[in-house]
Structure 1
Amino acid sequence: MSTQLLDAVPLTALSGVGAAISEKLGRIGVNNLQDLLFHLPLRYEDRTHITPIADLRPEQYATIEGIVQTCEVQFGRRPILTVSLSDGSAKISLRFFNFNAGMRNSFQIGVRVKAFGEIKRGRFMMEIHHPEYQIIRDNSPLILEENLTPIYSTTEGLKQISLRKLTDQALALLDKVKITEILPDEFNPHPFSLKEAIRFLHRPPPDISLQMLEEGRHPAQQRLIFEELLAHNLVMQKMRLGTQQCLALPLTQQTDLKQRFLVRLPFQLTAAQVRVTADIEQDLGKVYPMMRLVQGDVGSGKTLVAALAALVAIDNGKQVALMAPTEILADQHAENFRCWFEPLGIKVGWLAGKVKGKARQAELEKIKNGEVRMVVGTHALFQEDVEFSDLALVIIDEQHRFGVHQRLLLREKGQKAKFYPHQLIMTATPIPRTLAMTVYADLDTSIIDELPPGRTPISTVVMSEERRAEIIARVHNDCTEEKRQAYWVCTLIDESEVLEAQAAEAVTEDLRKTLPHLRIGLVHGRMKPAEKQEIMASFKAAELDLLVATTVIEVGVDVPNASLMIIENAERLGLSQLHQLRGR
C-alpha cells in the first residue's frame, strides 16, 4: 500500500463498498481513493457543544439538550408531531411533518433528548423542523462530536453518515501512503503539506473558526486552491507553447474589402473596436495560430470586430467558421453576416442541428467546395461529416458555453497540411485580469471597454418580492404608455417545493390574469426549436408585449425595443448568466 498511487486504489478496498455503493459514488465523481480524499466538504456543522435554548438565534444551526414537556399531534391539512423541550433556560418546539407511531411514543414526558438542526422563529417559541435527535436513556452520558461535522455533496441513497465513515477509512489509508509533494516548499505559501491539508479539511478541530472555513480563507483550503490554480495555469501555458509550435498560414494580403465594408456602416467604429481589431490583424499575420479572447459587454460591438477579422481571412481566399452555443444566436449571427457580407459578394452558410436532409447535404457540399466563405453554426460545425475547403479562422461566441475540448475539435477540423486555423474567442462575461491570466493562460486577451455613442447605461436594481405589485405596474406602464417591450425571466420550469422558485408556466398564467390587455408569450428550454424560434420571432416583430422566459434567452437575443427585464430568484443564477441577461 505504501508505494501504491491513490488513484489506483479502488473504492472496493474500503469496508462496506460493494457494487451498489460504488455506482452511487460514481454519480458524484468519486471512482477511486484519491477522488474520495479530494471530495471535500461543502460546509461544516458545529456539534461539539450544547447551546442553551435561551441563547439560540434564528437561522443558526445548534445542538440542544432538554427534557420533553409535551408531545402532541396537531391535525390540519397534514398531521404534525410537535414536541416541546425545556433545558431550564427556555423552551423550544421540535416539529415533524413526517413521523410514525414509534417516534411519537419515544417522546415520553420527562425523557431527555439531544437534537440538532436549524433554529427557526416560531409563533410562541423557537422551533426546529425535522431535527436529527437522540433519546438519552437511563442517565447515559451525553456524547458530543470531537471535530466539526463535515457535510458533503451527495446523491440519492448515499447518506452523510456513510460518506463520513468512508472518509474515515480513506484518511486511515492516507496515513500509510507516502505522498510525493509536487509543490516545492519554497513555493508553498501556507504551513500545510498536502496530506495535512486533506486531513484537516475532512476533520477540522472544534477550535477553528467556522466562518473562515465557510469563506474558504483557512490556510489548509488556500494550500489546495494554490496548488490547483498553479497546476491549471501550468497546463494552460503548456498548451499555449504547444500552439505556438503549430503552424498557421499568415493572413497578410489586404485588398479594399475592409474599406468597402466600413463605408457601408451607418456609424463609426469606437476607439476600442479599432484597437482590438488592430490586435487581431497583427495576430493573423503571424506564422503560428492566433488564440485571442475578446471581452466586451453585450452591445459593445464584439460581433462587428469578429466580422472585420473574418474579412481578413476571406480577403486571403480562406474560409471562416463562427460557432455559437444556441440555434437562436447562430440564426441571429447568420442574419447579421448575410446583411453585411452578401452585398460584398460573400456567401454566408448556416449549419445547425435543425438543418436536415437535402438542405443539410447541399450546405455541406458548399462548405466542402469552398462556395461559402463564411459559415455560421452551432456545435453541428464540428460533427464528423463537416469538411471545410480551406478553414483559416475559427470564431467562437460566448466561449463560457463551450469546453476547451470542443474548441480544439473545431481547430482540428481546420488542420490542413500541418497548418492550423487561427482562433478568436468572444465573451460578454467580465473576467478579472488575474483570473483571465490564470484560467485562460493559453489565450491573449483584448477588452472592448467602450460602448458605442448613444448607448444608455443599464440600471440594475434589487427589489423584494413584497414590491411585486409595483413591478407589475412598471411593466404595464412601459408596455402601454411607452410602447416598449419587456422580459420576465424565471429560473426554473417546473414547480419545486424544495427550491420554492416560481415556475415559468405559473408566472405566465398569473401575469395573464393580472395584465389581461398585454400580449404575453412564453419560451423555455423544453420547447421544440421551431416553437422557440416562432415565439422569439413574434417578440422581435413586436407582436408580443411581454415575454416570460427561462434563461434560454440568456445568450444572444437582439430585441432593441425591449427596455425592461425582471429576473425572479436572481440568486439562483451565476454571475456570467446575470451579465448575459443584463445585456439583453
Structure 2
Amino acid sequence: MSTEFPDWTRLQKALAVEAENGFTDLQGNQYRFSEFLCLSLGKTPNGLLPVERRKWQSIAAEFERYHHQTVEARQHLVVDTRQFLYKLQQELQRREREKTHPPQTSMVKSPQTTPLVAETSKVNVNFTLDSPLSELPDIGRRRSDYLGRLGVYTVRDMLYYYPRDHIDYARQVNVKDLVAGETVTVVGTVKRCNCFTSPRNKKLSIFELLIKDSTGQLKLNRFFAGNRFSHRGWQEQQKRRYPAGAIVAASGLVKKNKYGITLDTPEIEVLDHLGGSIDSLKIGRVMPVYPLTEGVPADWVRQAVMAALPAVNQLQEPLPKGMRQQYDLMGVSDAIANLHFPTDTDTLSRARRRLVFDEFFYLQLGFLQRRKMQQQVQSSAILAPTGKLIDRFYQLLPFELTSAQKRVVNDILNDLQQPTPMNRLVQGDVGSGKTVVAVIAILAAIQSGYQAALMAPTEVLAEQHYRKLVSWFNLLHLPVELLTGSVKVKKRREIHSQLETGELPLLVGTHALIQDPVNFQRLGLVVIDEQHRFGVEQRAQLQQKGQSPHVLTLTATPIPRTLALTLHGDLDVSQIDELPPGRQNIHTSVLTGKERQNAYDLMRREIAQGRQVYIVLPLIEESEKLDVRSAVEEHQRLSESIFPQFQVGLLHGRMSSAEKDEALNAFRDNQTQIIVSTTVIEVGVDVPNATVMMIENAERFGLSQLHQLRGRVGRGSHQSYCLLMSGSKTDTARQRLGVLEQSQDGFFISEMDMRFRGPGEVLGRRQSGLADFALASLVEDQEVLNLARDAAEKIVLEDKALENLPLVKAELDYRYSKLMGGAILT
C-alpha cells in the first residue's frame, strides 16, 4: 500500500469477495479478511478533511472487532465501508486533478473571483434581520412581492432560504483539458462573435462566440426564443459586447456533440483587463441553485440573497465556543454566508456541516427536553413487576423466552415501577415475539388493579391480536374484548359499560378505541402496535383516556438508528434482536416472467406435502395505466387455468370484515390451499402451515414492506420460500431486490431501503412525525446526527432548563415547532 493513498481496487475487491462469501471473515493465503482490512486502513491517507479522517479511523477501529461481530453487524460494516471508500476515492481524485491541472494560459493571467462573503461583510447596512425584503437594495416592493411566493418575506427568511444544490464553476481549466460531464470555467480571448436569426425559425435567434486560449479554441452557442431577440438592434448590441480580442470568462457544463466539445448554455462575463476579477454571481465560483416557483427567476433569488448577505453579521452565535471547537463547527454567520456563496467546495462542505448539525441538534434538544418534562409527570400507576398472573403466564407458555425477550421485559418492568409514565418503543423483527412481551406488561397492569388497552392499525391485525390473547386469557380466567368498526351497537354498549365499571381489564381494538365514547375506569397501560401507522394526535388521544398511563409502542418495521432518533428521539428504545430457536432462514429468490413456471411447480410440490401458499399483488382491480397483475383478475386466472385442482381464496382491503374473516379462517383451516391477497396481510396474519410467499411486481414495493410480507411464511418448522417476481429490467431494481436474497435482518434491510428510497418512504408512506429538514439527509449525514445527539445529551445533563444558554433556548423555541410542523408538540 502506498504511504499516500490505499490500493482502492484491492480494498474494494476484498470487500466484494467477503460479501459474496457470506461475511465469514474469509481466510486468505496470509491474512484473514479483517486482518487485511486493519492493515490496509491502519495508516490514514494524507489530504483528508477532518470529517473524512474521523470516518476513516472509525471504520478502521470497527474492523479490529470484526471477527467477534454478528453476521448482521458485519454486513452493515462492509456495505458502509464500500460506499465510503468509493465516494472518498472520487473526491480525492477530483482534488488531485485540481492540483495537477491548474489553469495556464500565456495570453491571460488567471482571473480572481471576487470573494463575495468577504466583500459583503464590510458593507454598512441600514436594515435588520426582521426588515421586509422591499427595503433591500435593488429589490423593491415589486420583486419582494414575487419573492413572497417562495415563502420569504424578511431578510432573515432570505438568509435561511437555503440552496437545494450547487454547481461548481470554481475550477478553471484550459480548453484542451475539457472533459464532458464536468462543470468548469474557461478563460480566453474572443476570436469571433456573431448573432443572427435562424433561417429555419424566424422567432429563434442564435448567438455564437468563438474563444481561444494557448491550448485551443472553443465555440459557444446560446439560443434565444422570442420576437424581441430577432430585432437587428438587439443582435448588434450582443456583438458589440464581445468584440474580437476581449477577455471573457465562460462557465457551464461541458458537453460533447457531433461538432465537438462545447459548454451547455454557458454563462459569460467580459473581464476588465488581464487577470481582472470576476464579479458575476455565477461565473468562476460554486454557484447556488435555489428552489423556484413560477414567475420567480433564479437570478432574482441570487440577487436578493446577495443583497441580504451583509445582515449575517447581525446573527448571534448561540453555541458556546468550546462546543464549536469540540465538534469542529464553523461559526453560524460564516456558515450561512458560505452556504450561499462559498469560495470553494471544501468551504461549502464545512458550512453545510455546521447548518446540518444545527438542524439535528435543536431537534434532539427538543426531544430530550420533552422527555425530561414527561419524566416530571407523576403517574398514578405504579405497577408491580411480579405477581400470580405473570407467574401463571410463564407456566402456561410452551417455550422459554429468548435472552433478547427477557432483556426487553426487564426494561419494561423496571419502567412500570417508576412514578413517571413509561414511554418505550420495542422494535423487533418479524416473528421475534413482541406480543408475548406486551402481554407480560399488560398482566403487570391488571394484577396491580389497572386496565389496559391495545390499539392496532387494521381490523385484521386487531382480530389477530384478540384471537391470540383470548387463547391465553381464557386459561388465566381473564375477560378480553374486541372493539372495531364492525362491532354491533348492542355489543359496543356492553363493552363501554364493562370498561366504566372496571369489569373489563383489557380492550383490543382499532381507531374505534379513540373514536368511540370509550371511558376506562382506571387505565394504567396503553399498548400501540405498528405505531408508525398512527398519527401523533391519534396516539395522544388514546393516552388521554387515562391519567398519565404508561405507554408501550411496538413495531415489526425495524428502522435504522438515524431514522429512529428523528422519529422517536423522546422515547426509550428496546430491540428484540434475536429470533426464537428453530426458526429457519426463508429461501428468497428474485424471478423473472420466464421463471414463472418454476414458481408454480414449487407451489404444487409444497401443496402436495400439505403446505399452503400466499400470492400477493399490489392492486385490487386491473389498471389501464399500470401493467401489473390485479388481485381479482389473478384470482380468477389461477383458479380456472393454473391451479384448478386446488382451492384458491381471495383477500383484499375492499372486502367487508365478515368476508375477510371468512377468507382468513378458510386459509387458517387449510380449506383453501392458496390465498391471493393485497398487502392487507402484511402484518399480523399467522398461519404456520404456509411455506410459500410469491409477490408479484415486487419492484413496486419498498424493501421493508417486502420483508414484512416475507415474514408471513417461515412461522412453522418447515423450510419456507419467498419468490419475488420482478417485471423490471433496470439494474437498480435488481440491486434493490438482491438485498432480500442476501439478508434476513430487518434492520439491515431497512437501512438499505433508506439508502435506495430515502427516509420519507421507508415506512411505506409519508410519516407524519418525520422532521422536515432544509439541508440534513438521514442517509448522508448519520455521523453529524450522532454528534448532535451527543452534544444535546451533554447540555441537557448539565442544564436541562437551558438557563445558562439563553441564546440556545431562544433558538430552540423558534426552530423546534417549525421543524416538526407543530405535530411533535401534541
TM-score higher than 0.5 = yes
Q: Deviations over 1:127-177 (max 9, x none)?
A: xxxx996999xxxxxx975555655667xxx34964663465256335336
Q: What does residue 604 of structure 2 align with?
A: 480
101 and 159 in structure 1: CA distance in 2 versus 1, 3 angstrom threshold: closer
Return the alpha-carbon distance in structure 2 between the equivalents of residues 53 and 514 of structure 1.
Answer: 64
Q: Does 1:517 align with 2:642?
A: yes
Q: 1:201 aligns with which of 321, 332, 339?
A: 339
Q: 1:283 aligns with which of 397, 412, 415?
A: 415
- Using the TM superposition, give the Cα deviation of residue 196 of structure 1 relative to its aligned residue in structure 2, in angstroms: 3.4
Higher helix share: 2
- Using the TM superposition, give the Cα deviation of residue 580 of structure 1 relative to its aligned residue in structure 2, in angstroms: 3.4
Q: Does 1:175 align with 2:310?
A: yes
- Using the TM superposition, give the Cα deviation of residue 40 of structure 1 relative to its aligned residue in structure 2, in angstroms: 4.0
369 and 16 in structure 1: CA distance in 2 versus 1, 3 angstrom threshold: farther
Q: Deviations over 1:242-297 (max 9, x none)?
A: 12211222112754222332333332222222232222222212222122222221
- Using the TM superposition, give the Cα deviation of residue 564 of structure 1 relative to its aligned residue in structure 2, in angstroms: 2.8
The count of residues paired between Structure 1 and Structure 2 equals 526
- Using the TM superposition, give the Cα deviation of residue 232 of structure 1 relative to its aligned residue in structure 2, in angstroms: 2.0
Q: Kindly provide the amino acid, as one letter, of the partner of residue 300 in structure 2.
A: K
Q: Does 1:219 align with 2:350?
A: yes
Q: 1:423 aligns with which of 551, 554, 566?
A: 551
Q: Does 1:329 align with 2:461?
A: yes
Q: What does residue 247 of structure 1 align with?
A: 378
1:382 alignment partner, SS class: helix
Return the alpha-carbon distance in structure 2 between the equivalents of residues 25 and 364 of structure 1.
Answer: 50
RMSD: 5.7
- Using the TM superposition, give the Cα deviation of residue 475 of structure 1 relative to its aligned residue in structure 2, in angstroms: 2.8
489 and 513 in structure 1: CA distance in 2 versus 1, 3 angstrom threshold: closer
Q: Kindly provide the amino acid, as one letter, of the partner of residue 422 in structure 1.
A: H
Return the alpha-carbon distance in structure 1 between the equivalents of residues 683 and 254 of structure 2.
Answer: 38
Return the alpha-carbon distance in structure 2 between the equivalents of residues 296 and 402 of structure 1.
Answer: 18
- Using the TM superposition, give the Cα deviation of residue 32 of structure 1 relative to its aligned residue in structure 2, in angstroms: 7.6
Q: What does residue 316 of structure 1 align with?
A: 448
514 and 398 in structure 1: CA distance in 2 versus 1, 3 angstrom threshold: closer
- Using the TM superposition, give the Cα deviation of residue 374 of structure 1 relative to its aligned residue in structure 2, in angstroms: 1.1
8 Å contact kept, 1:292–1:445? yes
Q: Deviations over 1:358-411 (max 9, x none)?
A: 444443333333232111223343347332211101112223334544433332
8 Å contact kept, 2:252–2:267? no
Structure 1 regions of 5+ residues with no counterpart?
74-84, 90-99, 106-111, 137-142
8 Å contact kept, 2:184–2:252? yes
Return the alpha-carbon distance in structure 1 between the equivalents of residues 301 and 442 of structure 2.
Answer: 55
Look at both structures and tell me which one has the larger radius of gyration over its CA atoms: 2
1:413 alignment partner, SS class: coil
Q: Kindly provide the amino acid, as one letter, of the partner of residue 359 in structure 2.
A: E
Q: 2:592 aligns with which of 462, 465, 468?
A: 468
Return the alpha-carbon distance in structure 2 between the equivalents of residues 168 and 572 of structure 1.
Answer: 43
363 and 514 in structure 1: CA distance in 2 versus 1, 3 angstrom threshold: closer
33 and 426 in structure 1: CA distance in 2 versus 1, 3 angstrom threshold: farther
8 Å contact kept, 1:334–1:349? yes
8 Å contact kept, 2:286–2:342? yes
115 and 438 in structure 1: CA distance in 2 versus 1, 3 angstrom threshold: closer
Return the alpha-carbon distance in structure 2 between the equivalents of residues 159 and 459 of structure 1.
Answer: 52
What is the 5 A alignment of 1:308-387? 308-355=440-487, 357-383=489-515, 385-387=517-519
- TM-score in terms of structure 1 length: 0.69
Q: What does residue 404 of structure 2 align with?
A: 272
2 and 297 in structure 1: CA distance in 2 versus 1, 3 angstrom threshold: farther
Return the alpha-carbon distance in structure 1 between the equivalents of residues 168 and 632 of structure 2.
Answer: 43
Return the alpha-carbon distance in structure 1 between the equivalents of residues 354 and 134 of structure 2.
Answer: 26
- Using the TM superposition, give the Cα deviation of residue 421 of structure 1 relative to its aligned residue in structure 2, in angstroms: 0.9
Q: Deviations over 1:485-541 (max 9, x none)?
A: 1344549999798xxxx565569758976994147777666x366498369627844
36 and 305 in structure 1: CA distance in 2 versus 1, 3 angstrom threshold: farther
Q: Kindly provide the amino acid, as one letter, of the partner of residue 457 in structure 2.
A: P
Q: Kindly provide the amino acid, as one letter, of the partner of residue 444 in structure 1.
A: D
Return the alpha-carbon distance in structure 2 between the equivalents of residues 540 and 475 of structure 1.
Answer: 20
Q: Does 1:450 align with 2:578?
A: yes
Return the alpha-carbon distance in structure 1 between the equivalents of residues 267 and 674 of structure 2.
Answer: 60
Q: Kindly provide the amino acid, as one letter, of the partner of residue 480 in structure 2.
A: V
8 Å contact kept, 1:493–1:504? no
Q: What does residue 435 of structure 2 align with?
A: 303
What is the 5 A alignment of 1:39-54? 40-45=162-167
Percent identical residues = 36
What is the 5 A alignment of 1:41-190? 41-45=163-167, 145=283, 147-148=285-286, 158-159=293-294, 162=297, 165-166=300-301, 168-170=303-305, 172-173=307-308, 175-176=310-311, 178-188=314-324, 189-190=327-328
Q: Does 1:537 align with 2:668?
A: no
8 Å contact kept, 1:53–1:64? no
Q: Deviations over 1:418-465 (max 9, x none)?
A: xx211112223445567756764433332222211211124556x4xx
Deviates further, 300-309 or 231-240: 231-240
- Using the TM superposition, give the Cα deviation of residue 37 of structure 1 relative to its aligned residue in structure 2, in angstroms: 5.3
1:286 alignment partner, SS class: coil
- TM-score in terms of structure 2 length: 0.51
Q: What does residue 108 of structure 1 align with?
A: none
Q: Does 1:408 align with 2:540?
A: yes
- Using the TM superposition, give the Cα deviation of residue 304 of structure 1 relative to its aligned residue in structure 2, in angstroms: 0.8
8 Å contact kept, 2:524–2:550? yes
169 and 534 in structure 1: CA distance in 2 versus 1, 3 angstrom threshold: farther
19 and 557 in structure 1: CA distance in 2 versus 1, 3 angstrom threshold: farther
Return the alpha-carbon distance in structure 2 between the equivalents of residues 398 and 195 of structure 1.
Answer: 43
202 and 470 in structure 1: CA distance in 2 versus 1, 3 angstrom threshold: farther
8 Å contact kept, 1:555–1:580? yes
Return the alpha-carbon distance in structure 2 between the equivalents of residues 61 and 514 of structure 1.
Answer: 53
